[in-house]
Chains A and B, each alone.
Chain A
């Protein structure tokens, strides 16, 4: 579904991505793991068109994404749950959800999708008219995911959904990701919580300082010695 080939990104003089290639097959969960500064978020930002790649190709369902505007890319069916949730704090939960469907024109279907999101996250229905900034961290993460689903994406990209959440909530979030995936959603997941991410994912890539160090199925990577030492903290 998504094919990235030899992607290079520079921030000023810094060479942030040094030729990354990866594939996200339809209906699968693919995860990118790696330490801070490995280039995980940059990869997502490049796919979304928020940063311009220096070279390389990004192809989504046969269409080239490099050089397209973010607005166009989102209309093609890619949505990102940004790092740190980034809900709109002074808008209500309901308004946040409606904004998620901003790129869509089918108003009746939007109402139905809000109902669907509310069944997925009953909490959000309870808090419908509350300002998003007053929600707890876990609820905000639910809202961020719900908001992303409102655009009816074909590919959902999540940037560290477990960041700053209590361990119990992290489990919840990963269960939700699993559920959304079971409904047929393709997911590209970025995580620092390598163990949880690899257990969940069909396929994983380990990034190190801007390039792919290892790739394999989630199980293979979990069993890999280097991954165990560096990312899972085992000796």
Chain B
């Protein structure tokens, strides 16, 4: 298997993906999309979750720093995009309790610029929070980042003039489509692959393995942790913004710990430190979130009538997590990655024996 072939396969895969996206989003050559709006929406969520999962995997899996602040960064991205992309008229309708402070009540910028600002602001907060908390390790880091996410949420509830408080924001223009989300997921995958294969990636893994030894190799441990953390915050902010524009309304209650846990579930199921694992697990978990809705609806089995229990889906996921950690203790993929060589390995081996 030559490197040139691998590039060719990758290009072909990207082209095939683009055709599928075009077909699903707008129809192709007069053929209507084979999927209904509901399915396309789930595909969108899958793509967003792939990006969010990879961002969390960068910090938790590759760098080995257990962070639980993901929901906070997503909230920052979501609110930034909402405030920048909504029209002044919609804003006025939203802020009927406390008026929106200037200059946000007048401005409206394009969606992509809003997304970029969402990512940058999230990265900036990542930088601010990272400076003190990345000196902590293990459980303490988890608690500190969790606290940060809660602070963001509480601030959002209370700064009514900017965020509309607990009422949330409705009528966010829906710009997010499969092109946006697939590009987001694709670019994140590309960035992660390039990063992990570079000397930065090796340094991050060295920090995960043994911080003291990494330091003794001359790796600036704090700088690299910061790099991973800020980059993850940027990706999470962009993802949060895309998600807000997909759903159309946001409120502070969305950005509680369960949101972080949902992304963490994907990372752990897929394998801490595997890009492939996160992509697979994010797709499966997002799809299961919808497929498993029936377990929450009322159920009649012959004479037994079970009322619907909200939250049953999470029980299923908890069981899944237990099973996976018992039998695949490093997640579905461990720290292995997909490669064309692996896919065609049987053929190559035969070639060698001949």
Asked if A88 and B210 sit within 8 Å, CB to CB, the answer is: yes
- Point out the residue from A82, A88, A91, A103 that lies within 8 Å of B218, measured CB to CB: A103
Alpha-carbon separation in the docked complex, A218 to B222 (Å)? 41
Asked if B335 and A74 sit within 8 Å, CB to CB, the answer is: no
Given A86-B210, A86-B213: A71 in contact with B205 (beta carbons within 8 A): no
Interface residues of A in 79-100 (CB under 8 A from B): 79-80, 82, 86-91, 95, 98-100
Residues of A within 8 A of B213 (CB): 82, 86-88
Asked if B202 and A82 sit within 8 Å, CB to CB, the answer is: no
The answer to the question of A70 belonging to the interface, with a C-beta cut-off of 8 Å to chain B, is yes
Tell me the smallest distance from the CB of B318 to a CB of chain A, in Å: 27
Alpha-carbon separation in the docked complex, A100 to B216 (Å)? 9
Asked if A74 and B210 sit within 8 Å, CB to CB, the answer is: no
- Point out the residue from A50, A90, A147 that lies within 8 Å of B217, measured CB to CB: A147
Residues of A within 8 A of B215 (CB): 50, 70
Alpha-carbon separation in the docked complex, A178 to B186 (Å)? 53
Given A82-B212, A86-B212, A90-B335: A100 in contact with B217 (beta carbons within 8 A): yes
Given A86-B210, A86-B213: A75 in contact with B218 (beta carbons within 8 A): yes
Asked if B202 and A48 sit within 8 Å, CB to CB, the answer is: no
The answer to the question of B337 belonging to the interface, with a C-beta cut-off of 8 Å to chain A, is no
Most buried by A among B205, B213, B216, B219: B216
5 contacts between A and B (CB under 8 A): A74-B216, A74-B218, A86-B212, A88-B205, A98-B199
Residues of B within 8 A of A80 (CB): 216
Minimum CB distance partner of A147 in chain B: B217
The answer to the question of A11 belonging to the interface, with a C-beta cut-off of 8 Å to chain B, is no
Residues of A within 8 A of B296 (CB): none
Minimum CB distance partner of A159 in chain B: B216
Q: Tell me the total A-B contact number using a CB cutoff of 8 A.
A: 65
The answer to the question of B203 belonging to the interface, with a C-beta cut-off of 8 Å to chain A, is yes
The answer to the question of B341 belonging to the interface, with a C-beta cut-off of 8 Å to chain A, is no
Given A50-B215, A75-B218, A80-B216: A95 in contact with B210 (beta carbons within 8 A): no
Alpha-carbon separation in the docked complex, A91 to B217 (Å)? 15
Asked if B209 and A88 sit within 8 Å, CB to CB, the answer is: yes
Asked if A82 and B216 sit within 8 Å, CB to CB, the answer is: yes
Alpha-carbon separation in the docked complex, A98 to B199 (Å)? 9
| Main SS class of interface, B | helix
Asked if A71 and B216 sit within 8 Å, CB to CB, the answer is: no
> A88-B209, A102-B203 known; 6 other A-B pairs, CB under 8 Å?
A82-B213, A82-B216, A88-B210, A91-B206, A99-B217, A99-B219
Residues of A within 8 A of B206 (CB): 88, 91, 99, 102
Tell me the smallest distance from the CB of B60 to a CB of chain A, in Å: 15
Interface string of A92-115 (1 = CB under 8 A from B): 000100111011000000000000
The answer to the question of A43 belonging to the interface, with a C-beta cut-off of 8 Å to chain B, is no
- Point out the residue from A74, A79, A91, A100 that lies within 8 Å of B205, measured CB to CB: A91
Interface residues of A in 145-177 (CB under 8 A from B): 147, 151
Minimum CB distance partner of A81 in chain B: B216
Minimum CB distance partner of B209 in chain A: A88
Given A88-B210, A89-B209, A90-B335: A70 in contact with B202 (beta carbons within 8 A): no
Asked if A91 and B209 sit within 8 Å, CB to CB, the answer is: yes
The answer to the question of B290 belonging to the interface, with a C-beta cut-off of 8 Å to chain A, is no
A contact residues, range = 20 to 34
Alpha-carbon separation in the docked complex, A219 to B214 (Å)? 36
Interface string of B200-234 (1 = CB under 8 A from A): 00110110111011111111100000000000000
Asked if A71 and B220 sit within 8 Å, CB to CB, the answer is: yes
Tell me the smallest distance from the CB of B14 to a CB of chain A, in Å: 28
Asked if A90 and B219 sit within 8 Å, CB to CB, the answer is: no
Alpha-carbon separation in the docked complex, A103 to B199 (Å)? 10
Most buried by A among B199, B208, B209, B220: B209
Residues of A within 8 A of B214 (CB): 88, 99
Residues of B within 8 A of A74 (CB): 216-218
Asked if B202 and A98 sit within 8 Å, CB to CB, the answer is: yes
Residues of B within 8 A of A91 (CB): 202, 205-206, 209
Minimum CB distance partner of A79 in chain B: B216
Alpha-carbon separation in the docked complex, A1 to B209 (Å)? 33
Alpha-carbon separation in the docked complex, A95 to B208 (Å)? 14
Residues of A within 8 A of B203 (CB): 99, 102
Asked if A102 and B217 sit within 8 Å, CB to CB, the answer is: yes
Asked if A71 and B218 sit within 8 Å, CB to CB, the answer is: yes
Alpha-carbon separation in the docked complex, A46 to B199 (Å)? 27
Asked if B218 and A70 sit within 8 Å, CB to CB, the answer is: yes
Asked if B217 and A103 sit within 8 Å, CB to CB, the answer is: yes
Interface string of B8-52 (1 = CB under 8 A from A): 000000000000000000000000000000000000000000000
Most buried by B among A74, A102, A103: A102
Asked if B218 and A151 sit within 8 Å, CB to CB, the answer is: yes
- Point out the residue from A71, A87, A89, A95 that lies within 8 Å of B219, measured CB to CB: A71
Tell me the smallest distance from the CB of B173 to a CB of chain A, in Å: 45
Residues of B within 8 A of A48 (CB): 216
